[in-house]
Structure 1
Amino acid sequence: MEHAKPLPSYLVQRYMGWKATTFAENKVWYQRLAAEGQRPRAMVISCCDSRVHVTSIFGADQGEFFIHRNIANLVPPYKPDGDIHGTSAAVEYAVTALHITNMVVLGHSGCGGVRGCHDMCSGIAPELEEKTSFIGRWMDILRPGFERVAHIEDEAERTRALEHQSVLVSLENLMTFPFVREAVEEGRMSLHGLWTDIGEGGLEYYNPKTGLFSPV
Structure 2
Amino acid sequence: MKRVRPLPSYLVQRYKGWKATKYQDNQAWYRHLAQEGQHPRAMIICCCDSRVHVTAIFGADQGEFFLHRNIANLVPPFTPDGQQHGTSAAVEYAVTALKVAHVIVLGHSNCGGVRGCDAMCSGDAPELNDKTSFVGRWMDILRPGYERVKKIKDTEERVAALEKQAVLVSLENLVTFPFVAEAIESGHLTLHGLWHDIGEGEIEHYVPEEGGFVTV
The answer, yes or no, to whether TM exceeds 0.5 is yes
Tell me the residue number matched to 2:186: 186
TM alignment of 1:162-173, pairs within 5 A: 162-173=162-173
Q: Whole-Å Cα distance in 2 between the matches of residues 81 and 90 of structure 1? A: 16
How far the C-alpha of 1:213 sits from its partner, in A, is: 0.5
Per-residue CA deviation, residues 99-154 of structure 1 (Å, 9 max, x unaligned), is 00000000000000000000000000000000000000000000000000001122
Amino acid at match of 1:126: P
Aligned to 1:31: 31
Structure 2: which amino acid aligns with 1:187? G
Give 1:65 deviation, angstroms: 0.1
Q: Percent identity?
A: 71
Deviations 1:59-107 (A, max 9, x none): 0000000000000000000001121100000000000000000000000
Runs of 4+ aligned structure 1 residues displaced above 4 Å come to: none
Paired position in structure 2 for 1:16: 16
Distance in 2 (CA, whole Å) between partners of 1:158 and 1:12 is: 43
- Give, in angstroms, the shift of residue 185 of structure 1: 1.1
- Write the letter of the residue equivalent to 1:71: I
Residue correspondence of structure 1 range 81-96 to structure 2 within 5 A: 81-96=81-96
TM-score (norm 1): 0.99
Partners of 1:73 and 1:7 in 2: how far apart?
28
1:143 aligns to what?
143
Alignment correspondent of 2:3: 3
- CA distance in 1 between partners of 2:54 and 2:46 (Å): 8
In 1, Cα distance between equivalents of 2:207 and 2:156: 22
Gaps of 5+ in 1: none
Task: For 1:1-216, list aligned pairs within 5 A.
Answer: 1-216=1-216
Residues in 1 aligned to 2:105 and 2:211: alpha-carbon distance in whole angstroms = 16
Residue type matched to 1:85 in 2? H
What runs of 5+ residues in structure 2 fail to find an aligned partner? Answer: none
Provide the aligned length of Structure 1 versus Structure 2.
Answer: 216
Point out the more displaced range, 206-215 or 112-121. 206-215
Could you tell me which amino acid in structure 1 is paired with residue 134 of structure 2?
F
Partner amino acid for 2:70? Answer: N
Distance 1:130 1:82 in 2: 23
1: CA distance, partners of 2:116 / 2:189: 32
Determine helix, strand or coil for the equivalent of 1:209. Answer: helix
Distance 1:180 1:211 in 2: 23
CA distance in 2, matches of 1:211, 1:127: 35
